[in-house]
Amino acid sequence: MDQIKIRRLQQEQLAKLIYQAIPVDWKKVASNLAKKDRSIYVLLKNNQQECWLTLRLADHPIWLLHAQQLTLDLGNPLDLLNVAKQIKLEFSSSRLITYTYVWTMEELTVLRLLYELQQKGLVFAIHLKAATFLAFKAQPLDLQTDFMLADLFLTQRNNVNKLKIPVTNQAFQQKLALLFGRNLLFSQFSRHHLLKLLPTNQWIQPVLRQADLNWNYREGLLTYFGQKFYNECQNWL
């Protein structure tokens, strides 16, 4: 059996283990499996408390500092019994509340914008320092400092050379950092030291669907991020 099949089998075993180990009041909303390692990411919702949680199981440290994810170490070699023990321990701990979150209207507005823009082939990207870019995740990226100090752009998902519009709105950039840290966005290194922030559609869609809000998200853009940003979004959309 080749390494890809072995890794996928391990990920499937982990997925089953997670759903057996978490408390019954937590339900899976979405998940995704890493293609290059054994990592697995799961979006969970507690319907009793109406809160959400991003669970990350991996055999290497997370490169994003201040990410809102519950991260557990898979160990090397993989120890399924220990992973199950870790999950049960963390979900019974008072620390769990530090990782849970409740969606705000401002965050849902940004999610909807991300979804609509990617339908048009548009995504956001930040310009990384050369050392961080060349380290390729070996050097941490602090979401509260490095991310917020980076220049932000709107670009084409498939060709950054064709479009690179500067975006200057710190409130919006802070929400992107938050969503990136919850795995609602995933990264892709690109040309010109750009890190593209690609929407995790299989997560965003059920979040928006379960929110079931009857609201005009474009009005939300105006309310939360101001007239200038609203006008820019109108042009992009």
Domains held by the chain: number: 2
> CA 54 to CA 205: how far, in whole Å?
15
Domain boundary at 98, 124, 152, which?
98
What pLDDT is attached to residue 135?
A: 84
Q: What is the pLDDT of residue 1?
A: 57
14 with 85, same domain: the answer is yes
pLDDT at residue 5, rounded to an integer = 78
Check whether residue 115 and residue 224 sit in a common domain. yes
CA distance 82 to 18: 12
pLDDT-derived band of residue 65, with 50, 70 and 90 as boundaries? very high
Query: pLDDT tens digit string along 180-199?
Result: 999 999 999 998 899 999 99
The domain boundary residue, chosen from 78, 98, 118: 98
- Phi then psi for residue 131, to 5 deg, are -65, -40
Q: Rounded mean pLDDT of 39-57?
A: 93
User: Is the predicted pLDDT of residue 176 greater than 70, yes or no?
Assistant: yes
Whether 194 and 218 share a structural domain: yes
Per-residue pLDDT averaged across 187-216, rounded? 90
Taking the C-alpha atoms of residue 54 and residue 57, their distance in angstroms, rounded to an integer, is 10
Let me know: does 153 contact 165? Beta carbons within 8 Å.
yes
Residue 10: its pLDDT value, please? 76
Domain of residue 76, residue span? 3-98
Tell me: do 127 and 214 sit in the same domain. Answer: yes
- The overall average pLDDT reported for the chain is 91
Does residue 200 share a domain with residue 110?
yes
Mean pLDDT on 7-18? 81
| Residues 71 and 109 placed together within one structural domain of the fold | no
- 87 and 148 fall within a common domain: no
Mean pLDDT of 146-174: 96
With 90 as the cut, is the pLDDT of residue 16 above it? no
Query: What's the token pair of residue 67?
Result: 């990410």
